[in-house]
Copies of this chain bind each other. A is one copy, B any other.
Amino acid sequence: MEKNRIIEGMLRRRSIRAFRDEEPTREVIETVVRAGQQAPFAAQLGSLLLKRDREANPFGAPLLFTVCVDVHRMERVMAARRWRRVMCDLSTLLLGIQDAAYMAQNMVQAAESLGMGSCFLGAAPYAAARIVEEYGLPPRVFPLVQLAMGYPAEDPPVRPRYPIEFSLFEDRYSELDEAAVDRAMTAMDEGYLAQDYYRSRGAKIPLGEGREETFGDDDYSWTEHVSRKLGQWSEDPAELLRAFESCGFRLSEAAPDAG
């Protein structure tokens, strides 16, 4: 495979959840943010909240970024141009989530290149009301995801991924026969088992009532773990719809509640 330092950096990347005492300088932080900003955008709909409080931050990370879809800022610009947003919230959010995510992923790789590590925390949308309060967010700023960052105090192995045949489909989507599914599952499960990932962190997800546990430390791995997440969690969209609404977004409404 054709490689270089940039691609090697991407292939080496893994989440970091333990951090050294060293504090990233303001210069380092701004470098990471600038690299993030330069990602492609639809309308620069991403913005960043930063908390430098190891006591409060997950994993005691020196930096906690909250990556937001920021339509408020866009509306300020539009108001100065005497425009009112008519694009519906759903379309606007679909663009904004991408703007924010491209920015965040550039930040992940920029941090790696500066010797730092990071870990995404996906629960931000479900904590939207608390985050709005904590950071004093105006309406139409949605906390999409958090990113803990700092200098790593651990050196975990790179985690496995699906085989490329399971991820890249030329011209036609593949039928994905049983054998292909099996190869993909084996790659993921054997990969995580070889790293003792779930056992070492006691990360097995308990089964709900009426389901009998049949997995032990020697076979509980990625496919069963992720299946339990999607098979047991978040059955009702009401919570997430409320989170969007608490940030001023109504996914099914035509006329945005723009100021």
Contact = CB atoms under 8 A, between A and B. Distances in A.
B137 A173 contact: yes
Nearest to A252: B237
B158 A38 contact: yes
B228 A251 contact: no
Contact of A231 (B84, B105, B109, B240): B84
A50 B77 CA distance: 37
Interface in A19-62: 25, 27-28, 30-31, 33-35, 37-40, 42-44, 46-52
Interface stretch (A149-157, A163-171, A193-201): A163-171
A247 interface: no
A33 B167 contact: yes
A213 interface: no
The number of chain A residues touching the other chain, given as a range, is 35 or more
A223 B80 contact: yes
Given A73-B166, A184-B77, A171 B137 contact: no
Q: How many copies does the complex hold?
A: 2
A233 B168 contact: no
A209 interface: no
Nearest to A40: B120
Contacts of A10: 35, 38-39, 106, 109-110
A34 B11 contact: yes
Contact of A162 (B44, B106, B237, B238): B44
Nearest to A49: B169
9 contacts: A2-B27, A7-B113, A38-B161, A44-B162, A49-B173, A73-B166, A77-B226, A80-B181, A94-B97
* 5 closest Cβ pairs, A-B complex: A101-B101, A6-B113, A83-B231, A105-B105, A83-B227
